[in-house]
């Protein structure tokens, strides 16, 4: 005995009833969506050269300039020197900017411009002329520089007043550069007395009475003066000196 299975007849193909123009429109939409998806994946999600003659620009930021140039040459690209610019944190000689940026597909042999760091920005040395020494030192340190030493010279300015700096005021210096501060120790207003022929003790007394000080005592054999008396001095007699100036003497000894 045979059984027949009743199957419903197949319906018509759904797109068969579409007009030709409408069918072409659907086909173009599907093709466009596929192409857009491929381009999005190839250029945005997974960037890669579209053609074999193109290269992906590597990231060379923060690398030393020589190492960055080597990586770009290995990628088949050329280097264009973009100079150096100050940077507050990047070490001198490292790459701080590149054009084109990393990840861009570029034709082989394209020149990539590299700008390197010139180190922290330079600081102008402050002008402290005429200021008291403590204030001048604070201003130098506040500017980001260091006080290397303080030198004193005879000058018409009052004692303890800053005269100049080395490097000079407004000179550009790197942060932490040592700066020498030159201050006045007063004007040379005391005439050095004539000590020749005096005994050493009397010479000391005379210098201290005039506001000066006895310095080095050298003894020399001579038959032209009595032993123990002064036969030479530096500075010479009548030289103007600042208070506290040291005077060196030569004292005769027995031949």
Which letter does DSSP use for residue 46 in this model? S
Q: Count CB atoms within 10 A of the CB of residue 101.
A: 11
Within the chain, what is the greatest distance between any pair of CA atoms?
Answer: 165
Instruction: Read off the pLDDT of residues 232-254 as tens digits, 9 standing for 90 and up.
Output: 999 999 998 878 889 999 999 98
Instruction: Read off the pLDDT of residues 88-143 as tens digits, 9 standing for 90 and up.
Output: 889 999 999 999 999 999 898 899 999 999 988 999 999 999 999 999 999 999 99
What's the pTM?
Answer: 0.46
Across the chain, what does the average pLDDT equal? 86
Please return the burial class of 105, using the count of CB atoms within 10 Å of its CB with bins 0-12, 13-18 and 19+: middle
Topology adopted by domain 54-117: Trypsin Inhibitor V; Chain A (3.30.10)
Q: Span 123-184: which CATH code?
A: 3.30.10.20
Residue 187 has pLDDT above 60, yes or no: yes
Contact between 189 and 222 (Cβ < 8 Å): no
Tokens 């299975």 belong to residue = 5
Task: List the domain boundaries for the chain.
Answer: 21-50, 54-117, 123-184, 190-253
132: helix, strand or coil: strand
Q: Span 190-253: which CATH code?
A: 3.30.10.20
């Amino acid at each position: 005995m045979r059984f027949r299975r009743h199957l419903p007849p197949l319906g018509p193909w759904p797109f068969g009833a579409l007009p030709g123009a409408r069918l072409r429109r659907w086909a173009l939409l599907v093709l466009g969506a596929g192409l857009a998806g491929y381009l999005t994946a190839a250029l945005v999600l997974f960037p890669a050269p579209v053609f074999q003659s193109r290269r992906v620009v590597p990231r060379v930021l923060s690398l030393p300039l020589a190492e960055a140039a080597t990586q770009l040459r290995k990628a088949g690209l050329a280097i264009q020197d973009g100079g150096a610019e100050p940077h507050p944190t990047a070490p001198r000689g490292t790459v701080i900017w590149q054009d084109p940026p990393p990840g861009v597909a570029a034709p082989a042999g394209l020149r990539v411009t590299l700008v390197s760091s010139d180190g922290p920005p330079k600081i102008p040395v402050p002008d402290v002329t005429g200021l008291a020494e403590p204030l001048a030192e604070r201003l130098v340190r506040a500017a980001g520089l260091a006080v290397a030493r303080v030198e004193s010279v005879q000058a018409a300015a009052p004692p303890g007043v800053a005269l100049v700096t080395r490097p000079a005021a407004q000179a550009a210096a790197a942060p932490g550069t040592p700066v020498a501060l030159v201050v006045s120790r007063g004007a040379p207003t005391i005439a050095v007395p004539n000590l020749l022929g005096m005994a050493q003790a009397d010479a000391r007394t005379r210098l201290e009475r005039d506001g000066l000080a006895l310095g080095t005592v050298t003894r020399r054999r001579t038959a032209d003066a009595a032993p123990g008396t002064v036969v030479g001095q530096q500075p010479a007699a009548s030289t103007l000196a600042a208070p506290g100036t040291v005077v060196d003497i030569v004292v005769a000894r027995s031949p």
